[in-house]
Amino acid sequence: MNEAATQTAPDIRAAQSAPLLDVQGMSISFATAGGRLEATRDIAFSVAPGERIGVVGESGCGKTITGLSLLRLLPEDVAHISGRLDFMGVDLATCSEATLRDIRGKRIGMIFQEPMSALDPVFTVGDQIAEGLLAHGRMGRVEARERALEALRSVGIAAPEKRFHAYPHQLSGGMRQRVMIAGAMICNPQLLIADEPTTALDVTVQAQILELLRDLSDRAHMALLFITHDLGVVAETCTRMLTMYAGEIVEDAGVDAALEHPLHPYTSGLLRALPRLSERRSALPSIPGRVPVLGQMPEGCRFRQRCPFATDGCEKPQALQDAGAGRRVRCWRFRDLDLPGVAA
């Protein structure tokens, strides 16, 4: 593995170096009885080596679909991906299945919300972790076992020799999530896609897992694409935040900037809906309405039906435009709006 390309520090500057992943114009559509439905549109973002990016938005905004599409994990007979998904020079959208198999698990790992459905109940934890090594590396069983034990240790599992022979149902939820992370990390991927990995966990266990992910990302200089609905999790884990709404990226900014001075009314609305920011027992602001369903997307700005700032002009198509300071926003009015963030 070429390590030289991945030595840049994971900060804002890193975004200007050669990206690890560069997604341009990605649209995902599904074949349905009623015709093709577009689930995401014009997704464009890049991930620098070692960078940690949070992807936020309500359910149905396309976060999970975007993550799955990066590894082409959607059923190919119904899901169609267009656009360019450049990962270290390979277009993930068009590369051969063999190339993709080499990338999956080895260079890009993925973990999910519910470890119980991602782990196979009839195999021991150790076998499932070693599986990645046996599939990708030219390595014997003994060495794979050693590496698997090491991986279990590195994710903070006590007595890994004992746990190695445990079945998933014998472990607690937090322990299972650690096992899944160990499995995803075992080939030292350059990018880990984490889809709500702590949502099903208790808050004290979530704190442990977030700490672990941050630490692993720092130590191995691994980039993280963190899909979550929890803005607190993003604030504590990531340096950049992509806000998705109705299948589009509506805002891309550094986490601090997005939290303090959101440029898109949707990002601002999400922040204002957090109970901790309102005075105790006061009425909580909410975003009226719901995410439009596929096939019923409004023309122009997709958020305008729920947006308190919608006006004439919002029915025109909105581009994700450069807002300066490395930020992008999909709102033509962003310069006129002074939107409240968490500090307001």
Partner 1 sequence: MTGERAPTLSVRDLRVEFPAAERGATVKAVDGVSFDIFKGETFGLIGESGSGKTTIGRAVVHLVEPTAGTILHDGVDPARLSSREFRAARRAWQIVFQDPNAALNPRSTILTSVMEPLAVSGVGSAEERRRAALQALARVGLPEEIGARYPHQLSGGQKQRVVIARTLTLKPELIVCDEVVAALDMSIRGDVLNLFAELQRELGLTYLFITHDLSVVSHISDRIAVAYLGRLVELGPAEAVTENAIHPYTRALLSAEPAPLPSHMRTGKRILLEGEIPSPINPPSGCHFRTRCGHAVDLCAQRAPEWREIVRGHWAACHFAEQFCSEENVAGEKAGATLLGG
Residues 6+ apart with CB under 8 A from 13: none
Query: Do 125 and 168 meet the contact criterion of CB atoms below 8 Å apart?
Result: yes
Binding string, residues 44-63; x marks residues near partner 1 by CB under 8 A: --------------xx----
Largest CA distance in the chain: 67
Task: Tell me: does residue 214 bind partner 1 (CB under 8 A).
Answer: no
At 284, the amino acid letter reads L
Dihedral (C-alpha) 303, 199, 117, 31: value to the nearest 10 degrees?
A: 0
Q: Of 129-137, 184-192, 264-272, 315-323, which segment contacts partner 1 by CB under 8 A?
A: 264-272
- Residues of span 165-184 touching partner 1 by CB under 8 A: 172-175
Single residue of 12, 79, 90, 235 touching partner 1 by CB under 8 A: 235
Size of the site for partner 1 (CB under 8 A): 47
Phi-psi group of 5: left, alpha or beta (phi > 0 → left; psi -120 to 50 → alpha; rest → beta): alpha
Measured between its terminal Cα atoms, the distance across the chain in Å is: 47
Task: Tell me: does residue 322 bind partner 1 (CB under 8 A).
Answer: no
CB atoms within 10 A of CB 209: 22
Binding string, residues 240-259; x marks residues near partner 1 by CB under 8 A: ---------------xx--x
Q: Which tokens in the block code for residue 339?
A: 């939107």
Burial class (CB in 10 A: 0-12, 13-18, 19+), 274: middle
Single residue of 234, 244, 263, 331 touching partner 1 by CB under 8 A: 234
Task: Tell me: does residue 292 bind partner 1 (CB under 8 A).
Answer: no
Task: Tell me: does residue 34 bind partner 1 (CB under 8 A).
Answer: no
Single residue of 21, 249, 331, 342 touching partner 1 by CB under 8 A: 342
Q: Kindly list the residues in this chain that would bind partner 1 in the complex (CB under 8 A).
A: 58-59, 172-175, 202-208, 210-211, 229-237, 255-256, 259-260, 269-271, 273-278, 280-281, 283-287, 290, 342-343
